[in-house]
Structure 1
Amino acid sequence: MSAQLAAGTYRCRDVSKSVAAAVRAGVTWIDTAPNYGSGSAEAQLRRILNTCPEVQVSTKVGFVPDSDRRAARDAGALRHGLERGHCLARPYISWQLARSRARLGRVPDLVFVHNPEHGRTDRTDLSRTLTGAFEVLESAADAGEIGGYGVATWAGLSSGMFTVLGLTKLAETVGGPHHHFRAVQFPVSLIHLAVVADALDGHGALPEAQEVGLDVFASAPLGGGGLLGAMTEELVRVIDCEASPAQAALLVALSSPGVSRVLLSASTTAHWADARGAAALESLPPDRLRRVVDVLGT
């Protein structure tokens, strides 16, 4: 299995407890955001990051936590009434980066531009927004304030608002051949199989990421937990008859070509043990993945 498990914190009720269980299970990457955990996720990670320097961490810029709104306005980083809960203006990105470093207690290894398509329908406007964001992030990387950056999206790729190759070309325009654009994050699961079907046909986001050497963080591999109730015995047998329902669902994301890390928000040691069991299984070959796509469709 080439893809690795990573700890996601989006749906964690207790971030500290969930991440501690993940680290005990051998996970070495944590993904978070300023708006996760009602704005407390980054601060909750500081202790474990201090005690586990080998663990890497990614965070995000874009969404405006309610708890940060007043401070951002007071600092002049956020204009009243214009943020709509999401802001990628240069001053706000710089302010949010500094806030994240202070809360995490370290320089983040990656910073994702978080759902840049949010509230936007015009590709030209989105391109301008991303250009400004990439310029701020390139400067931050040059200054050693972040390790690198990427784009985390829910629907930007599937809707055609942008492509992986387009994002990479933008990074090259902004940062030159030695730019710091390192990764993309998007859903890969039994619910989001179109990206897997495309990859099996040799096109789409996953092959493009492989082509340009980007890491792919697969989000929502269990569909926010909703997939588990839909895992019939027949579907599990199609995927891997020796797997548990959760392992079978995870195995699809772990086996998808081009995926580097699969983000899982598991809360207990038992859940992480089950996930490790999935990562220990033999990767699904392309013909098995194709059969899953044929059974479920896209």
Structure 2
Amino acid sequence: MSAQLAAGTYRCRDVPRSVAAAVNAGVTWVDTAPNYASGTAEASMRPVIDGCPRVRVSTKVGFVPDSDRQAARADGVLAYGHDQDHCLARPYIAWQLARSRARLGRAPDLVFVHNPEYGRTDKADMWRTLTVAFEALESMADAGNIGGYGVATWSGLSGGIFTIPELTALAETVGGSHHHFRAVQFPVSLVHLAVVADALDGRGALVEAQGAGLDVFASAPLGGGELLGAMTEELVRVIHPAVSAAQAALLVALSAPGVSHVLLSASTPAHWADALGAGARESLSPDRLRKVIDVIGT
């Protein structure tokens, strides 16, 4: 299995407990964001990751946590007069990442531009916004304040709002051939099988990311937990005859071509042990993945 499980903190009820269980199980990557856990995710996980240099951390910039809005306005990096909940202006990016570094107690290894498509219907405006964000993140990477950056999206790639080649071209325009654009994050799961079907046919976001040398962080591999209740015994057997329902769902994301990390918000040592059991198995073959797609559809 080439892809690895990583700890995600989105919709995590108890971030420090979940991250501690993951780290103790041997997980070496944790993904978070300033707006997760009502704005407490970054600070609450610091006691767990302090003193663990082997654990790498990614965070995000874009969404404005309610807990940060007043301070951002007072510091002049967020406009007054309307309820702005997403911002990718350069001053706000610098301000938010300074807070993230302080909360995490370290420079993030990766910073994802978080859902740049959010609230933007004009494509030209979105690309202007992305250009500003990439310029800010390139400068921070050059200064050693972050290790690199990427784009985390829910529908930007699947909806055709932007493509991997377009993002890579923008990074090259902004940062040259030695740019710091390193990764993308988007859903890959039994609920989002179209991207896997495309990859098996040699096209689409997964193939393009792999060709560009980008790490792919697969989000929502269990569909926010909803998949577990929908996993029938028949479906589990189609995926693998000797695994649990959670392992079967994870195997699909772990086996998708081009995926490097699969983000999981497991809360207990038992959940992580079960998940890592999937990670220890051989990848599903392309033929097996095609059979799963035939059964479920895209």
Q: Same fold (TM over 0.5)?
A: yes
Identify the residue that residue 64 of structure 1 maps to in structure 2.
Answer: 64
Aligned length: 298
For the pair 1:203 / 2:199, whether they are aligned, the reply is no
SS in 2 for 1:209: helix
Identify the residue that residue 74 of structure 1 maps to in structure 2.
Answer: 74
Task: Name the CA distance, whole Å, in 2 between partners of 1:237 and 1:14.
Answer: 32
Task: Name the CA distance, whole Å, in 2 between partners of 1:31 and 1:81.
Answer: 32
Identify the residue that residue 297 of structure 1 maps to in structure 2.
Answer: 297
The amino acid across from 2:199 in the alignment is A
Identity of aligned residues (%): 78
Stretches of structure 2 that go unaligned for 5 or more consecutive residues are none
SS in 2 for 1:150: strand
Stretches of structure 1 that go unaligned for 5 or more consecutive residues are none
For the pair 1:191 / 2:187, whether they are aligned, the reply is no
Deviation of residue 219 (structure 1)?
Answer: 0.2
The amino acid across from 1:77 in the alignment is V
Identify the residue that residue 17 of structure 1 maps to in structure 2.
Answer: 17
For the pair 1:38 / 2:38, whether they are aligned, the reply is yes
For the pair 1:94 / 2:91, whether they are aligned, the reply is no
Let me know the Cα RMSD of the aligned residues: 0.7
Identify the residue that residue 28 of structure 1 maps to in structure 2.
Answer: 28
Task: Name the CA distance, whole Å, in 2 between partners of 1:83 and 1:287.
Answer: 49
Given the superposition, is the C-alpha separation of residues 134 and 82 from structure 1 closer, same or farther in structure 2, using an over 3 Å criterion?
A: farther
Deviation of residue 84 (structure 1)?
Answer: 2.9
Identify the residue that residue 282 of structure 2 maps to in structure 1.
Answer: 282
Identify the residue that residue 219 of structure 1 maps to in structure 2.
Answer: 219
SS in 1 for 2:184: strand
The amino acid across from 1:125 in the alignment is D
Task: Name the CA distance, whole Å, in 2 between partners of 1:18 and 1:224.
Answer: 15
Q: What pairs up with 1:172-187 in 2 under 5 angstroms?
A: 172-187=172-187
Task: Name the CA distance, whole Å, in 2 between partners of 1:184 and 1:255.
Answer: 17
Deviation of residue 83 (structure 1)?
Answer: 5.8
Identify the residue that residue 110 of structure 1 maps to in structure 2.
Answer: 110
Identify the residue that residue 232 of structure 2 maps to in structure 1.
Answer: 232
SS in 2 for 1:161: coil
Task: Name the CA distance, whole Å, in 1 between partners of 2:258 and 2:14.
Answer: 31
The amino acid across from 2:296 in the alignment is L
For the pair 1:138 / 2:141, whether they are aligned, the reply is no
SS in 2 for 1:154: coil
Q: What are the Cα deviations for residues 76-132 of structure 1, in whole angstroms up to 9, with x where unaligned?
A: 110124563111111111100101001000000000000000001221111100000
SS in 2 for 1:134: helix
Question: What TM-score does the superposition give when structure 1 sets the normalisation length?
Answer: 0.99
The amino acid across from 2:28 in the alignment is T
Question: What TM-score does the superposition give when structure 2 sets the normalisation length?
Answer: 0.99
